Structure 1
Amino acid sequence: MTPKLESTITGSCQSFESIREVLAKANEEKSGDELAGIAADSAAERVAAKDVLSQLSLATLRENPVIPYEDDEVTRVIQDVVDETVYKEICDWTVADLREFLVDERTNEEDIDRIRPGLTSEMIAAVTKLMSNIDLIQATAKMTITARCNNTIGTEGTLSFRLQPNDPTDDVDNIRYSICEGLSYGVGDAVIGINPVEDNHEQTKRLLEVTKEFIEEWNIPTQNCVLSHLTTQIEAVRNGAPADLLFQSLAGTEAGNESFGIDIDLLDDAYEFGKEHCTASGPNFMYFETGQGSELSSDSHADVDQVTLEARCYGLAKRYDPFIVNTVVGFIGPEYLYDGKQVIRAGLEDVFMGQLTGISMGIDACYTNHIQADQNDIESLAVLLTAAGSNYFISVPMGDDTMLNYQSNSYHDAAALWDIFDVRPAPEFESWLEDMGIARDGHLTSKAGDPTVFLGEHEDGRKQESTNS
């Protein structure tokens, strides 16, 4: 039974028709929700919605998913994995109780681990809407989620980076040079991942071979991935391509995933295929990307707000025990996140929700040129999320991806973040950097930023034989 959904906190009675409406109107201001016509009409209505939401029980949210169980396979995935024993312990908590639990200084990582199996994505989205930015940072910082592919990501005191050597023509030489540059700055431990211009299995195979050959030539403890469609990657692997990770974009609704050309059956089959054919040591070999607003962009949002849909993406991703998941937070434009303030808020929300879901979570802290944001906004977000304990960031040459035509964190931002927060790359990767002479005692050396280390132009440039000595 749905409780009465009304509030008088603003001096006049505000009422709401559904849990879905309350969730949408309690959301912080987002241009995507406004475009969808589901956002609060005023700050007063937003406060009223937050008041109503704060008093809802977790059981009410469990019993009222934003898309009914019988209508959506993502809902079924999320609901079916709830640990009923844990759920019974917390089902009478209100959303406000859950927030107080998460920000209480006495609550530790083990406490959060204990309740996590009893949560649904709607519960996670709901508590997010009651939290300030500093609340999100504080709570996220309590959670450590590790995963292993060819190296281990997310261990305490580490911060990893995806090396993204995209090229607007898929030129192999340019890609290799960009890999050299990124590695010379110490990035690439999360993955060397390429967004291909051509989405076909021949080109995917070619790029996977190029990256794998480079990794093996220099004995680099990392993993490769080409971010073509999942079916394209599987076809490439069937034809002999060496893939450490399998990638796919996810949505928070069944209809949204259909727009991506996927469903649960395909994801399940890909997961089983990866177990047998991925070249990584594992056990984690899946890579997913998400982003607030993607469902609205394909008209598959079902009148659900973008924060709640994003939380549902993470509930789906958890089914496949991924090595990395990242939100591409400001990529799809001002229609969904209008400015730097909204992008920063969304990035903090997303990493918190991913970590609370229990997945190895990172971010592409990015923006496009037509959004009201700049590089300072993205650097501010990177600082905040490093404080929060994000597992990794995307990094591109000079912060400018010339193929996808957007801005992100640069290769050289990594050194600044490691220095400010006294954190390091993944342990296996850091050892390799030291063997290469690129890092020493947790700091980059004078070789850092010099890609010729990998071009045979240094007297002491060393390949595979030295890294195992």
Structure 2
Amino acid sequence: MSSFVHTVAGQVYRFDDLRTLMAQASPERSGDLLAGVAADSAAERVAAQMALADLPLRTFLSQSVVPYEDDEVTRLIIDTHDAAAFAPVAHLTVGGLREWLLGDDADEAALAALAPGLTPEMVAAVGKISRNQDLIAVARKCRVVTRFRNTIGLAGRLSTRLQPNHPTDDSAGIAASLLDGLLYGSGDAVIGINPATDNVPQVIQLLQMMDAVIQRYGIPTQSCVLTHVTNTIQAIERGAPVDLVFQSIAGTEAANRGFGIDLAVLAEGQAAALSLQRGAVFDDTGKRGEHVMYFETGQGSALSAGGHHGCDQQTLEARAYAVARRFKPLLVNTVVGFIGPEYLYDGKQIIRAGLEDHFCGKLLGLPMGCDICYTNHAQADQNDMDVLLTVLGVAGCSFIMGIPGSDDVMLNYQTTSFHDALYARRVLGLQPAPEFLRWLEQVGVFEPGALARLAAHMPPQFARLLP
């Protein structure tokens, strides 16, 4: 591999390989310092960013940050690269791609056509030399639309995952949170439960409970139990009503092995879910919604799994999106502050990481959402989350989380509430998915024709959701 050199104020900085250059060009964050890959000074970081800006994009097709022969994610990235889609920008440098992305020629259609030609490392590199406003402006131009029982990602829309977790999986507690969320217009992305008791019988029970509510009230949404993909495959084999297959994923083979998965296991889960054909029919072909996967990611997962190969966490996060892209998911979200301050120390780092993740995922053609969150021992608070929620809404984020009072009582972290989703929709002029919005108006949750305006009284039929 080639080394890279740049001079700043008479000081010569040398970066031994692409992996080192990428890592030292990253904005400061605690995870890279913990891994020992961060720049030693602000001057060295600037030198790395300037050298990265001058790097031809073709370099990423001949040099890998994780060796091709050692890593199936690298092989996936290289072997599936679309040279024809890449051709319009193949002559550019990283800095040149940033300028093109910010220009008027990079519209929605052009960005959609380009996505298969970009590698995760390319978009991560652009992110490293971009200001926050650049990350927002480019991501806003990307439009990624997916469908299962409703349509997610359309312009002027912001969807939510209704997350009715309970520390003992108590049905009454889950039902109360579920009702609370529906009455605030949450749940169009998915009704998704993190099970406290993670075994197949419990997974099946939760799936049956959510499916019964969806079917009884005709709710145009989908459900998911966020269990390991192998548990979901077993649940499908036992006849459970599975809509979406969930899995946490990472950007290296070693980190994914830490999650107990590889690409073959994910393909098995996708095939099992597709065989059920539970999605709605959206056109006259009779073809049902085929986006059946739900993935979560987060900067720092590869480091915590001991599978980072000396790479920075933002680059590896972008590589996780190559895994997601392979399986055409309905939903992908970065759980941006969940792993803790060891990886993203404070509100500033969490906000920057959320914008980076959303930018990279959208450019790679993914339906990106964000769990706008932090742990209680991080140097962050709900005001930081308000900022990230607002700027992600401006950037065209597909979906966010909805949890009672912003406080997940099972996972013990702070995220966004049903009220937060209403705030974002109102101040930014956004609505839920169109099918879900019609349902909210029909059952009397939202006032017809108004922007996320709640009806004066609770629809009486919802009282039956509670035991």
User: When the two structures are superposed, what TM-score results if normalisation uses the length of structure 2?
Assistant: 0.95
> Is 1:25–1:40's contact at 8 Å kept on the other side of the alignment?
yes
SS at match of 2:8: coil
Please tell me whether residue 202 in structure 1 is matched to residue 210 in structure 2.
no
User: Which residue number in structure 2 is paired with residue 467 of structure 1?
Assistant: none
Q: How far 1:77 sits from its partner (Å)?
A: 1.1
- Give 1:327's match in structure 2, choosing from 311, 326, 334: 334
User: Which residue number in structure 1 is paired with residue 101 of structure 2?
Assistant: 102
Identity rate of aligned residues, in percent? 50
When residues 452 and 294 of structure 1 are mapped into structure 2, their CA distance, relative to the original with a 3 A threshold, is: farther
Match of 1:299, as an amino acid? G
Match of 2:431, as an amino acid? R
- Give 2:389's match in structure 1, choosing from 367, 382, 390: 382
Which structure 1 segments of 5+ residues have no match?
459-469
Q: How far 1:378 sits from its partner (Å)?
A: 0.6
When residues 242 and 257 of structure 1 are mapped into structure 2, their CA distance, relative to the original with a 3 A threshold, is: same
Please tell me whether residue 164 in structure 1 is matched to residue 163 in structure 2.
yes
Question: What RMSD in Å do the two structures reach over aligned CA positions?
Answer: 1.6
SS at match of 2:177: helix
Distance in 2 between the 1:61 and 1:410 partners? 40
User: Which residue number in structure 2 is paired with residue 443 of structure 1?
Assistant: 451
User: Which residue number in structure 2 is paired with residue 288 of structure 1?
Assistant: 295
Distance in 1 between the 2:439 and 2:31 partners? 43
Q: How far 1:112 sits from its partner (Å)?
A: 1.5
Q: How many residues align?
A: 457
Q: How far 1:228 sits from its partner (Å)?
A: 0.7
Q: Deviations over 1:178-216 (max 9, x none)?
A: 100000000100000000011111000000000000011
SS at match of 1:419: helix
Q: Deviations over 1:149-195 (max 9, x none)?
A: 11110011100000000000000111011100000000100000000
SS at match of 1:443: coil
User: Which residue number in structure 2 is paired with residue 27 of structure 1?
Assistant: 26
Distance in 1 between the 2:5 and 2:429 partners? 47
When residues 415 and 74 of structure 1 are mapped into structure 2, their CA distance, relative to the original with a 3 A threshold, is: same
User: Which residue number in structure 1 is paired with residue 350 of structure 2?
Assistant: 343
Match of 1:268, as an amino acid? A
Distance in 2 between the 1:10 and 1:165 partners? 55
> Is 1:10–1:48's contact at 8 Å kept on the other side of the alignment?
no
Distance in 1 between the 2:403 and 2:27 partners? 30
Match of 1:312, as an amino acid? R
Match of 2:351, as an amino acid? I
When residues 209 and 341 of structure 1 are mapped into structure 2, their CA distance, relative to the original with a 3 A threshold, is: same
Question: After superposition, where does 1:209-220 map in structure 2 within 5 Å?
Answer: 209-220=208-219
Distance in 1 between the 2:370 and 2:244 partners? 17
User: Which residue number in structure 2 is paired with residue 154 of structure 1?
Assistant: 153
Please tell me whether residue 115 in structure 1 is matched to residue 122 in structure 2.
no
Please tell me whether residue 391 in structure 1 is matched to residue 390 in structure 2.
no
SS at match of 1:350: helix
Distance in 2 between the 1:443 and 1:55 partners? 46
Q: How far 1:443 sits from its partner (Å)?
A: 2.9
Distance in 2 between the 1:448 and 1:117 partners? 47
Q: How far 1:324 sits from its partner (Å)?
A: 0.3
User: Which residue number in structure 2 is paired with residue 309 of structure 1?
Assistant: 316
Question: After superposition, where does 1:232-381 map in structure 2 within 5 Å?
Answer: 232-277=231-276, 279-281=278-280, 282-381=289-388
Q: Structure 1 stretch 59-68 or stretch 332-341: which is displaced more? A: 59-68
Runs of 4+ residues deviating >4 angstroms: 448-453
SS at match of 2:101: helix
User: Which residue number in structure 2 is paired with residue 83 of structure 1?
Assistant: 82
> Is 1:151–1:429's contact at 8 Å kept on the other side of the alignment?
yes
> Is 1:278–1:285's contact at 8 Å kept on the other side of the alignment?
no
Q: How far 1:446 sits from its partner (Å)?
A: 4.7
Distance in 2 between the 1:210 and 1:251 partners? 30
Distance in 1 between the 2:452 and 2:145 partners? 24
Distance in 2 between the 1:190 and 1:405 partners? 22
User: Which residue number in structure 1 is paired with residue 462 of structure 2?
Assistant: 454
SS at match of 1:58: coil
User: Which residue number in structure 1 is paired with residue 286 of structure 2?
Assistant: none
Q: How far 1:449 sits from its partner (Å)?
A: 8.8
> Is 1:67–1:75's contact at 8 Å kept on the other side of the alignment?
yes
Q: How far 1:450 sits from its partner (Å)?
A: 4.7
Q: Structure 1 stretch 58-67 or stretch 184-193: which is displaced more? A: 58-67
Distance in 1 between the 2:335 and 2:386 partners? 15
Distance in 1 between the 2:457 and 2:355 partners? 30
Distance in 2 between the 1:15 and 1:166 partners? 49
Distance in 2 between the 1:83 and 1:387 partners? 30
> Is 1:344–1:381's contact at 8 Å kept on the other side of the alignment?
yes
> Is 1:185–1:448's contact at 8 Å kept on the other side of the alignment?
no
Distance in 1 between the 2:269 and 2:409 partners? 30
